[in-house]
């Protein structure tokens, strides 16, 4: 839950920087550890049968931190880099596993451009968002190099490395939209006007603020239906990654930008004082505070990414596969792509999010569909770390023409959901209610960095109806809750006529509104009693492995040995070697002085990383278990401990001498946050 801000520490640190202990805690970078969440080889091998991934070779003298991709007619690409260059790329569509495109410099010296757009006719050239301005570039003499650099609109910056400028995206009215990242930390995160806003700029440079409350809005998109969305990263005030629908006057949740809401031209009525450290689900706050806009779709943290980035709508008309009209959402930290199917219910956008493709070489920040439905992914890991072997790059994803058995979409119903499939389902497994497990949860809206999933509640299956053609299943459920994410797991489903399971068996539907319409089960009058929402995850009580009391045979609470174990920024315990005598009575005080959540889990010798992986596999259920998996390899553990709090446990050291691993099992931490308890 505490993946650092997507665009953190870039300007401060060299390439390849990982979780260096010397980094101040304010710019802590947990992604550097979360990148070790290596995808399953079995899954990526299956995914590759349907969507083939091809890295494009880049000459060694080019650092292609691809930050913007414009497909140009004639199978060419224009690619911006974070180092301020723009390259022509020819040959990116060539057949074969080894593709070596030709790179020709178009422009250089720009200030971290993060997007590029061909000028709409009759204007000429290309629009590029630099940190400090929207710029029009043109090659007027036809030599392949830009020779006009025209400032369209200035965008004030204070100099914080975190003031990214995402876009431009062409609006249906011919204007451009940009989303302006907030600065990092400090007394204000919006030191310059319109930081934390989505703004619209006319071709002659007039700026119109559209919406506030953005934090790190790396993805910005207008759909073919004219609806605007931005993608957001987990962080302070942002419980998990998400996609939010934007209308003029909206407030997306991060209060920094409200500093400018009184400025002439502001469309936003909320003021900084209107936003408190609520600590409630965001959809509940939205009922009380008009203007607060809950997301259309939550992207559960560590499951569908840790730093959601560029988005595109599939407008390939089927050339990229069976998901025409849906969105693809890149993730930087986990180097993967999620898929989102939106619908509008009672005027509110909502929908399903599901895994699509992982196993890329580096973190993806930009996606673009080229000719023939080919998808290009622009990649960079500098400053944050990402899954994969490369620090930057450009990859291609091509549909092989084969269709996997997938949940194509989910639609809300007054009493449940309709799941549609890419190919017909096997009736026997589809009609069995035990094939489905559904539960709801949400995230807290508060000042702290990220949120665990809270208010988890199971949704018992009441009825299943399989369509005659086998292409959809209607599920009636109990305990649906508006505002909540509904997680549907269906690993037992099979495709018709075979044993093929779903390629991705878990989908997440953010149910902002229940639709009107026909029910397939009557309302259960007892449902209100049945579905009492649980209290926010309770503190972890005393158990055999979480011993909060000294055993009765101890003479006093001190035992034989006291250990005070702390934490340090950069995913570290403050000690990596603890020594105790075999069978000693140990009182261990775990004091978390870092600004993120951590725990202490003592494991069997050599089993620390396996326990860390098992914790990761808990998915959204992990938070309720304090990320401690049920495993014989776990000997003793503390609770997941909030910043500036502690948890004390009392245990008897193993009688067998050896080096016992201890790790923090918060997803992604174990690889770095580890030590040895030496039993002598
Ligand atoms: Cu940790």
Ligand 1 center from residue 622 Cα (angstroms): 13
Ligand 1 center from residue 647 Cα (angstroms): 14
pLDDT tens-digit readout, 172-217: 999 999 999 998 766 678 889 999 999 999 999 999 999 999 999 9
Identify any residues that bridge with 32 across adjacent strands, giving them in sequence order.
none
Q: Which of 442, 673, 444 is nearest to 566 (CA)?
A: 673
The alpha carbon of residue 19 and the mean position of all alpha carbons in its chain are separated, in whole angstroms, by: 19
Ligand 1 center from residue 20 Cα (angstroms): 15
Ligand 1 center from residue 664 Cα (angstroms): 5
CA–CA dist 488, 504 (Å, integer): 11
Q: What is the pTM of this model?
A: 0.80
Ligand 1 center from residue 407 Cα (angstroms): 34
Of residues 40 and 136, more confidently modeled: 136
Ligand 1 center from residue 668 Cα (angstroms): 8
Ligand 1 center from residue 422 Cα (angstroms): 39
pLDDT band for position 384 (50/70/90)? confident
Ligand 1 center from residue 257 Cα (angstroms): 30
- What pLDDT score was predicted for residue 580? 96
Ligand 1 center from residue 568 Cα (angstroms): 10
Ligand 1 center from residue 174 Cα (angstroms): 47
Q: Which of 147, 35, 128, 119 is nearest to 81 (CA)?
A: 128
Ligand 1 center from residue 567 Cα (angstroms): 9
Q: Which of 367, 363, 387, 384 is nearest to 375 (CA)?
A: 367
Of residues 127 and 41, more confidently modeled: 127
Ligand 1 center from residue 249 Cα (angstroms): 38
- What pLDDT score was predicted for residue 444? 94
- What pLDDT score was predicted for residue 187? 60
Ligand 1 center from residue 663 Cα (angstroms): 8
Ligand 1 center from residue 599 Cα (angstroms): 6
pLDDT tens-digit readout, 566-606: 998 888 999 999 999 999 999 999 998 887 789 999 999 99
Residue list, CB under 5 A from ion ligand 1 = 598, 664, 666, 669, 673
CA–CA dist 250, 253 (Å, integer): 9
pLDDT tens-digit readout, 316-332: 999 999 999 999 999 99
Q: Which of 349, 261, 355, 258 is nearest to 299 (CA)?
A: 355
Ligand 1 center from residue 589 Cα (angstroms): 16
Ligand 1 center from residue 306 Cα (angstroms): 15
Tell me how crowded residue 97 is: count the other CB atoms within 10 A of its CB.
7
Q: Is the pLDDT of residue 448 over 60?
A: yes
Q: Is the pLDDT of residue 629 over 50?
A: yes
- Dig out the tokens for 273 from the structure: 């004082």
pLDDT tens-digit readout, 232-288: 999 899 999 999 999 999 999 999 999 999 999 999 999 999 999 999 999 999 999
Ligand 1 center from residue 672 Cα (angstroms): 9
**Intra-chain end-to-end CA distance of the chain, in Å:** 37
- CB–CB of 412/513 below 8 Å? yes
Ligand 1 center from residue 60 Cα (angstroms): 37
pLDDT band for position 651 (50/70/90)? very high
pLDDT band for position 39 (50/70/90)? confident
- CB–CB of 167/194 below 8 Å? no
Ligand 1 center from residue 574 Cα (angstroms): 12
Ligand 1 center from residue 186 Cα (angstroms): 24
Distances in Å between the Cα of 376 and the Cα atoms of 89, 216, 242, 372, 599 are 12, 22, 22, 12, 39
- What pLDDT score was predicted for residue 558? 80
pLDDT tens-digit readout, 497-526: 978 999 999 999 999 999 999 999 998 877
- What pLDDT score was predicted for residue 17? 24
Q: Is the pLDDT of residue 8 over 60?
A: no
pLDDT band for position 624 (50/70/90)? confident
Ligand 1 center from residue 102 Cα (angstroms): 44
Ligand 1 center from residue 532 Cα (angstroms): 32
- What pLDDT score was predicted for residue 32? 41
Ligand 1 center from residue 669 Cα (angstroms): 5
Ligand 1 center from residue 217 Cα (angstroms): 26
Q: H helices within 211-281, ranges in order?
A: none
Ligand 1 center from residue 592 Cα (angstroms): 9
pLDDT (mean) for 9-14: 27
- CB–CB of 3/19 below 8 Å? no
* 645-652/585-592 β-pairing: antiparallel
- What pLDDT score was predicted for residue 442? 95
Ligand 1 center from residue 598 Cα (angstroms): 4
Q: Is the pLDDT of residue 38 over 90?
A: no
pLDDT tens-digit readout, 63-101: 999 999 999 999 999 999 999 999 999 999 999 999 999
Ligand 1 center from residue 457 Cα (angstroms): 26
If you average pLDDT over every residue of the chain, what do you get?
A: 90
Ligand 1 center from residue 666 Cα (angstroms): 5
CA atoms within 13 A on the CB side of 627: 24
Q: Is the peptide bond before 168 cis (omega within 30 degrees of 0)?
A: yes
- What pLDDT score was predicted for residue 28? 29
Q: Which of 118, 295, 345, 313 is nearest to 222 (CA)?
A: 313
Ligand 1 center from residue 590 Cα (angstroms): 12
Question: Which domains are assigned to the chain?
Answer: 25-55+63-313+322-399 (2.120.10.30), 407-530 (2.60.40.1220), 561-679 (2.60.40.420)
Q: H or E segment at 45?
A: helix 41-50
């Amino acid at each position: 839950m505490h993946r650092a801000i997507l665009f953190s520490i870039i300007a401060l640190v060299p390439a390849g920087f990982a979780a260096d202990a010397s980094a101040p805690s304010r710019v802590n970078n947990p992604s550097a550890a979360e990148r070790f969440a290596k995808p399953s080889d079995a899954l990526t091998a299956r995914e590759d049968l349907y969507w083939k991934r091809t890295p494009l070779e880049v000459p060694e003298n080019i650092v292609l931190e691809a930050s913007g991709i414009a497909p140009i007619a004639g199978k060419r690409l224009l690619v911006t880099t974070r180092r301020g260059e723009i390259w022509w790329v020819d040959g990116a569509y060539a057949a074969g596993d080894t593709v070596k495109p030709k790179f020709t410099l178009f422009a250089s010296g720009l200030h971290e451009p993060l997007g590029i757009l061909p000028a709409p006719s009759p204007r000429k050239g290309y629009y590029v968002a630099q940190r400090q301005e929207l710029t029009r570039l043109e090659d007027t003499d036809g030599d392949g190099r830009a020779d006009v650099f025209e400032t369209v609109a200035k965008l004030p910056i204070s100099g914080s490395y975190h003031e990214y400028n995402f876009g431009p995206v062409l609006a249906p009215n011919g204007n451009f939209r940009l989303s302006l990242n907030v600065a990092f930390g400090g007394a204000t995160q919006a030191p310059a006007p319109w930081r934390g806003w989505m703004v619209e700029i006319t071709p002659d440079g007039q700026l119109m603020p559209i919406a506030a409350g953005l934090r790190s809005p790396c993805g910005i998109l207008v759909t073919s239906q004219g609806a605007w969305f931005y993608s957001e990263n987990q962080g302070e005030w942002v419980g998990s990654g998400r996609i939010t629908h934007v209308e003029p006057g909206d407030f997306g949740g991060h209060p920094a930008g409200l500093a400018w809401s009184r400025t002439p031209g502001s469309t936003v009525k909320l003021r900084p004082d209107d936003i408190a450290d609520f600590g409630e689900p965001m959809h509940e706050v939205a009922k009380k505070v008009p203007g607060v806009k809950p997301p259309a779709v939550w992207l559960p943290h560590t499951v569908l990414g840790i730093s959601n980035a560029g988005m595109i709508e599939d407008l390939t008309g089927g050339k990229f596969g069976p998901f025409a009209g849906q969105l693809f959402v890149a993730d930087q930290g986990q180097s993967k792509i999620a898929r989102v199917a939106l619908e509008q219910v009672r005027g509110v956008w909502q929908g399903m999010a599901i895994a699509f493709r992982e196993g890329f070489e580096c973190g993806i920040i930009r996606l673009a569909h080229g000719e023939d439905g080919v998808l290009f992914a622009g990649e960079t890991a500098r400053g944050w770390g990402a899954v994969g072997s490369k620090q930057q790059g450009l990859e291609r994803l091509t549909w092989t023409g084969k269709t996997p058995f997938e949940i194509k979409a989910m639609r809300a119903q007054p009493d449940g959901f309709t799941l549609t499939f890419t190919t017909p389902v096997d009736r026997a497994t589809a009609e069995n209610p035990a094939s489905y497990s559904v539960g709801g949860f949400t995230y807290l809206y508060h000042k702290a960095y990220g949120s665990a999933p809270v208010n988890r509640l199971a949704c018992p299956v009441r009825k299943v109806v399989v369509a005659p053609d086998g292409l959809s299943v209607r599920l009636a459920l109990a305990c649906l809750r508006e505002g909540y994410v509904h997680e549907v797991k269906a690993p037992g489903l099979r495709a018709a006529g075979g044993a093929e399971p779903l390629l991705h068996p878990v989908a997440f539907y953010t149910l902002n509104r229940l639709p009107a319409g026909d029910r397939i089960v009557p309302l259960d009058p007892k449902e209100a009693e049945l579905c009492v929402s649980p209290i926010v995850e309770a503190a972890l009580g005393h158990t055999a492995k979480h011993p909060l009391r000294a055993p009765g045979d101890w003479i006093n609470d001190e035992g034989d040995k006291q250990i005070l174990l702390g934490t340090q920024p950069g995913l570290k315990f403050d000690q990596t070697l603890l020594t105790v005598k075999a069978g000693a009575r140990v009182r261990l005080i775990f004091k978390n002085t870092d600004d993120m959540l951590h725990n202490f889990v003592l494991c069997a010798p050599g089993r620390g990383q396996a326990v860390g992986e098992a914790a990761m596999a808990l998915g959204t259920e992990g938070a309720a278990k304090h990320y401690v998996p049920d495993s014989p390899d776990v000997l003793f553990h503390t609770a997941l401990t909030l910043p500036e709090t502690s948890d004390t446990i009392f245990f008897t050291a193993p009688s067998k001498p050896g080096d016992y691993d201890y790790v923090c099992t918060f997803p992604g931490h174990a690889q770095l946050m580890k030590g040895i308890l030496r039993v002598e």
